[in-house]
Amino acid sequence: MTIAERISDSLIDRLSDKTLLQTDSFVDGAWMSGERRFDVSNPADNSVIASVGDVGEAGAHQAVAAAARAFETWKKVSPFQRAALLMKWHKLILENLDDLAAILTTEMGKTLTEAKGEILYGAGFIEWSAEEGKRIMGETLTPPFPNSRGWTLHQPIGVVACITPWNFPNAMITRKCAPALAAGCTMVIKPAPETPLSALALAELAKRAGIPDGVFNVVCGDAQKIGPVLTGSSEVRMIGFTGSTPVGKLLMRQAADGVKRVALELGGNAPFIVMDDADLDAAADGVVASKFRVSGQTCVSANRIIAQPAIADALIEKLKERVDALKPGNGFEAGSDLGPLIHHEAVERVDALVRSARDSGANIIAGGAPLVDELGGAFYAPTLIEGGSPDMDLACFEIFGPVASVYRVESEADIVKLANDTPYGLAAYIYTRDINRVHRLSEALEYGMVGVNAPMVGSFSSPFGGMKESGIGREGGKWGVEEFTELKWVILGGIDQ
Ligand code: NAP
């Protein structure tokens, strides 16, 4: 099969560098096709855009073996040399920003502006990690024994297997790979089947950057076959996963047999708290940014907007103006504010949550229906709901769609109680101008990240991660690099004094 047979003309025509379009897995520095193929579709118009090879268990075994071999040399490469290679990869990503964004928008649906934003965010992890990798430092300690000295080392953990989701097909890979590679680990990545092309384009650029064979491998295919190879192999020392909480729990159970380290970035149910002293325009802008970015399909999307009754009507009015003004549409069209959901099952799932909220007495103030017929893809209308109960499904489950729902709660104690009344603990938001409330609320919220008058919590320099069933470990900043190292203690005795 030629590239032209595997990829639709509509995508090929958009790219200036067509060799970024790869449809086979990348193992030990070479492209590996599988025994069967699967289709990748554009959620904005349901068209099939590519046919990608599934390498199955055999391919996964080969990738792990390649990563294990490559680890023996990569771990000894100086951090400065590793940084130089990472910076070449970073440069190539920036040079190919437009093409990478076109691939991302085609397979995932987010708008071109959002896609470019994601690629720059993802590239930021590479630059940061390249620098941070040079600063992995141990300490000298005083042992309680005579004639002895001691020190610590941070050494790369080994082969890391990463399983990533479709909502950030580029950045969820670089957020793990960049610190892991900088620390001296080698990688096997299994991207989501909805968005393999962004992962494979990253592999193509890693190859061009000169990252050695076997250091960065991407295996596409059936998760049920590939997953157990990654979690079961004794050569894999760590599983990095971003995705849903049920799959995270399953992988954690599988990894337990080999006592592998796990880093899990899982689902969320973010409260967005608006106190009665908040700047309401800033709060309404914040809700829109947090809730409708990527059509609500981010793990840190505001899931429950909790407003004090004194300002709830005014906030809802401001939200309605903003939600009514949002324009859903194909991510390539200028003026589209939000793209489609990932597929039609997602539209049905979101619509079921909205219908059940309506049936239980909530008011639909804006939107509230699929736009599949009107727009021809997996679109859902930007939606605003109020008057529902905090125990309805819409409030208890991760919505993962463009649906904002407002709940009125009076006292600070009840706000904290409701905000924490969920198994999740990823991101929370507070809008207030009262510094005492800032301290009280940010300390009381059981969440790994708190945005105060700020609707975005993720960056390459800060720790990203959750508490409770939202995950284990942190990505980003110096913490992100440390995750991929083992702390070793060395004691030297017998020193003549
Ligand atoms: P998902 O269904 O859990 O899938 C994520 C990845 O896991 C995919 O590559 C999937 O491949 C794979 N997978 C599924 N079952 C598996 C198994 N048994 N063994 C090995 N791999 C398996 O999640 P999603 O729908 O793609 O993503 C949405 C979820 O991700 C949301 O809950 C969101 O909150 C979460 N998320 C969290 C963060 C964070 O940083 N905390 C960031 C982004 C997204 P297949 O599809 O082939 O099964």
Per-residue confidence in pLDDT tens, the chain, 497 aa: 666 678 888 899 999 999 999 999 999 999 999 989 999 999 999 999 999 999 999 999 999 999 999 999 999 999 999 999 999 999 999 999 999 999 999 999 999 999 999 999 999 999 999 999 999 999 999 999 999 999 999 999 999 999 999 999 999 999 999 999 999 999 999 999 999 999 999 999 999 999 999 999 999 999 999 999 999 999 999 999 999 999 999 999 999 999 999 999 999 999 999 999 999 999 999 999 999 999 999 999 999 999 999 999 999 999 999 999 999 999 999 999 999 999 999 999 999 999 999 999 999 999 999 999 999 999 999 999 999 999 999 999 999 999 999 999 999 999 999 999 999 999 999 999 999 999 999 999 999 999 999 999 999 999 999 999 999 999 999 999 999 999 999 999 999 76
- Residue 446 is given by DSSP the state -
The encoded tokens of residue 294 equal 């990527």
Ligand 1, closest atom to CA 230?
20
User: Rounded distance, CA 151 to CA 135, Å?
Assistant: 16
User: Rounded distance, CA 482 to CA 132, Å?
Assistant: 10
Element of type H or E holding 121: helix 112-133
Q: What angle do CA 378, 380, 385 make, to 5 degrees?
A: 160
Q: Are 494 and 147 in contact (CB under 8 A)?
A: yes
- Residue 452 is given by DSSP the state E
What's the pLDDT at 1?
A: 63
In this structure, which residue's CA is closest to atom 28 in ligand 1?
Answer: 243
User: Rounded distance, CA 190 to CA 163, Å?
Assistant: 5
What's the pLDDT at 154?
A: 97
Q: What angle do CA 399, 266, 65 make, to 5 degrees?
A: 135
- Longest CA–CA separation in the chain, Å: 84
Q: Are 390 and 407 in contact (CB under 8 A)?
A: yes
Residues at CB less than 6 angstroms from ligand 1? 163-168, 172, 190, 192-193, 223-224, 227, 242-244, 247, 250, 265-268, 299, 398, 426, 466, 471
Hey, which residues does 452 pair with through a beta bridge?
Answer: 430
What's the pLDDT at 229?
A: 98
Alpha-carbon dihedral 51, 52, 56, 59, rounded to 10 degrees:
140
The encoded tokens of residue 263 equal 């880093």
Q: Are 427 and 456 in contact (CB under 8 A)?
A: no
What's the pLDDT at 43?
A: 98
Hey, which residues does 262 pair with through a beta bridge?
Answer: 239
What's the pLDDT at 10?
A: 85
In this structure, which residue's CA is closest to atom 8 in ligand 1?
Answer: 192
Please list the active-site residues: 265, 299
Element of type H or E holding 319: helix 309-325
Q: Are 207 and 129 in contact (CB under 8 A)?
A: no
* Model confidence pTM above 0.85: yes
Phi, psi of 18, rounded to the nearest 5 degrees: -75, -15
In this structure, which residue's CA is closest to atom 26 in ligand 1?
Answer: 165
User: Rounded distance, CA 275 to CA 202, Å?
Assistant: 43
What's the pLDDT at 6?
A: 80
3-class SS shares of the chain: helix, strand, coil, % to 5: 45, 20, 35
